């Protein structure tokens, strides 16, 4: 059973920094692209940043230059360093990962997994 556990959310003042972590555990064969999404009250969920297994990254325009996504393949963990936080960044942040697992008879199965979400609140 694969699960993603997020941590690091909390309250922070505008201009401050916060680092989110998401650790994957379970019967993992390999982890491909990982990413962070967020959803603010009354708004659609949006992509924040993604990172491939080889380290290629992409960011939403709204966070480019402020946020940095990274990963530790030994710990199966993805991070999101958020600098210069703004009240508009307030949202529930969700971790996502495309993970391959080995089923019975050695069959590989790849699918997306999601974390439970962690609240980030930026006060002005």
Query: Which one has a higher pLDDT value, 19 or 106?
Result: 19
pLDDT tens, residue by residue, 21-51: 999 999 999 999 999 999 999 999 999 999 9
> So what's the pLDDT on residue 104?
84
Structure tokens given for 119: 């609240």
pLDDT tens, residue by residue, 55-114: 999 999 999 999 999 999 999 999 999 999 999 999 999 999 999 999 888 899 999 999
């Amino acid at each position: 059973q694969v699960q993603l556990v997020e941590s690091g959310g909390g309250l922070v003042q505008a201009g401050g920094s916060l680092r989110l972590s998401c650790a994957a555990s379970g019967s993992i064969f390999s982890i491909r692209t990982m990413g962070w999404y967020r959803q603010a009250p009354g708004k659609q969920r949006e992509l924040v940043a993604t990172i491939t297994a080889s380290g290629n990254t992409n960011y939403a325009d709204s966070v480019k230059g402020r946020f940095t996504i990274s990963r530790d393949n030994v710990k199966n963990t993805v991070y999101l360093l958020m600098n210069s936080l703004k009240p508009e960044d307030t949202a529930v942040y969700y971790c996502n990962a495309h993970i391959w697992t080995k089923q019975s008879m050695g069959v590989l199965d790849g699918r997306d997994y999601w974390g439970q979400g962690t609240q980030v609140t930026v006060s002005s």
